[in-house]
Amino acid sequence: MDLSAAPNRRLRTAASLSFDAIRTELGVPQSFPTSVLDDARDSVDRGPQHARTRLDLPFVTIDPPESLDLDQALHIERARDGYVVHYAIADVAAFVRTGGPMDDEAWERGVTFYSPDTKTPLYPPQLSEDGASLLQDKDRPAVVWALHVDETGNLTTVEVTRHQVRSVAKLNYAQVQADIDHGAVHSSIAALAELGPILVDQARERGALELPIPDQEVMRAQDGSWQLSFRSQLPVERWNAQISLLTGRAAARLLLDAGVGLLRTLPAADHRAVEQLRRVAAALGIDWAPGASPGEILSTVDGGRPQEAAFIDEAAGLLRGSGYTAFDGSPPERTEHAGVGAPYAHVTAPLRRLADRYVNEVCLGVQDGGEIALWARSRLADLPAAMTSADRRDNQLQRACLDATEAAVLSGRIGEVFAGVVVEVGDRSRNDATVVLSDLAVRARCTGPGLSLGATVRVKVIEADVEARTVRLAVSR
């Protein structure tokens, strides 16, 4: 049973499935106050703050086709000794007044919240999908990161400055992947197919952890019904993500050298967790060479076999415990992000994440060698709590929407039997496990005998309660 190669495995649900109650339950805002909308309109009408020069590079954006909140625009060129990456990031600070209605509301929200039927943006659409978004053929203010990378993927020099930029093309992942496969990719990112794999390999060498887990997605079909699917990442998505991680690593370097900033941190897995994963690998028949890191082993599996799917699911436990670390005066004791394999800071999504606006501003001050803007520096210590709360609520929203859709998918199929893969076994009882029904893109708890990790089992749907967002499966004999 292949969990990784299932981009089109979907089952439709009732069109009436609603996520409004979930958003209300979790306190996700449904709209913006009038004062915030007025502030956004006025800020766009006034135009961006800060003087800036035009950077005449043909930037392009790569995002899902429907996206209008475009945070990043990219230009990569081959250099004699490697690559030069210019990464333009929407300059949200050019529009948001400290202490103004938009600023206050952004602190309440923390992030953009995504539901299957809508999104609740961090900033009003007048700003996030228009005035500050790096839309095609529009001049926009941006924080531009110039990153020089050598042939092996090592970051050699970093510059960050404010400019006016223009995107010349709005691209999407499937389109870019097809263009790369056919040798016809846009000239502004032609080097991505070279640099991306180099950065992926270098991440593995750093000990970074990348979990090749297919995304479980809820989407609406043309007829209005809802669909569940597993979707595997395209190579270009991994490469583009590496450019974002490269920028975040560059930002962390600047911040640590200056002794001020905000890092995204994740402690390294302790020895016992790694040894437990090693035992799981042995039980599942996955070879773990002596001296190999968990990241190196994960790079050899893709979830195509049930045993690999179970191993990847177990490995996800190594990535728990992420947080934010603010510091001012000296670097913090803990700086590493184990998933990245290096110190890392959030800077590439300021339209969708509160912290990025502040970290970019600190980096600009550090790069300039002058004073860091007081509005940014003075609130660094407040960001960890705000971001942790926002991330927690966003995770709860994502999980609740998936749970409701899974229950809806199975609500009319009580008593039916399906094939599944055991991806997690309960600590207290082998009669309690998590099973993935690959063909339905459903992940649910299951009870019964024979639930060993990585096993393929036949399970019966016992309960599917949409209102309670619960699904119960049992081993079928």
Is the predicted pLDDT of residue 331 greater than 60, yes or no?
yes
Is the predicted pLDDT of residue 1 greater than 70, yes or no?
no
Question: What mean pLDDT comes out for the span 359-382?
Answer: 95
- pLDDT in the model for residue 312: 84
Is the predicted pLDDT of residue 10 greater than 90, yes or no?
no
Candidates 2.60.40.10, 2.40.50.140, 3.30.70.270, 3.40.50.920; correct CATH number of 411-477?
2.40.50.140
Is the predicted pLDDT of residue 55 greater than 80, yes or no?
yes
Is the predicted pLDDT of residue 229 greater than 60, yes or no?
yes
Is the predicted pLDDT of residue 316 greater than 90, yes or no?
no
Is the predicted pLDDT of residue 54 greater than 80, yes or no?
yes
- pLDDT in the model for residue 63: 94
- pLDDT in the model for residue 3: 44
Nearest C-alpha neighbor of 210 from the set 176, 233, 188: 233
Question: What mean pLDDT comes out for the span 173-179?
Answer: 96
- pLDDT in the model for residue 292: 87
Q: Which band of pLDDT confidence, cut at 50, 70 and 90, is reported for residue 239?
A: very high
What's the pTM? 0.90
| All structural domains of the chain with their residue ranges | 11-267+321-406, 411-477
Q: Measure the N-to-C terminal CA separation of the chain; round to a whole number of Å.
A: 20
- Per-residue pLDDT tens for 378-435? 999 999 999 999 999 999 999 999 999 999 889 889 999 999 888 888 765 668 889 9
